[in-house]
Copies of this chain bind each other. A is one copy, B any other.
């Protein structure tokens, strides 16, 4: 029977929508949009990197990543640096202010999630993560990421 599996996949879209909405609401007053937040987090994890590498890493269009990076530079949360490998392709890195802002955003998100840990056990979460990984691998195998 594929129906439970089908129902599970049907849960993804509405869950994605409400998560995006709540992430946006959690960001209210921080001067950071949902898109900027995703880029800030990725730059934080990757270290200094180019826009194309950043875009690939989070699976968005290069132009979109550039717009988000520009907005973060404007807000002084990210800075442009020389790239030792290529004179014309700059690196972008999170500033001290950016590190602080992201820590603040992340702390708000953690506070929001905490109550869930009284209902969901580590074993539940591990199983759910493994199921979603398996789904993701199956879907990706049928449709490789476009360049």
Contacts and interface: CB of A to CB of B under 8 A. Distances in A.
Contacts of A129: 4, 7-8, 11
Contacts of A21: 139, 143
A18 B143 contact: yes
Given A14-B59, A16-B13, A109-B6, A116 B138 contact: yes
Query: Secondary structure of the A side of the interface?
Result: helix
A122 to B, nearest CB: 6
A136 interface: yes
Interface of A: 1-2, 4-9, 11-22, 25, 59, 109-110, 112-117, 119-120, 122, 124-136, 138-140, 142-143
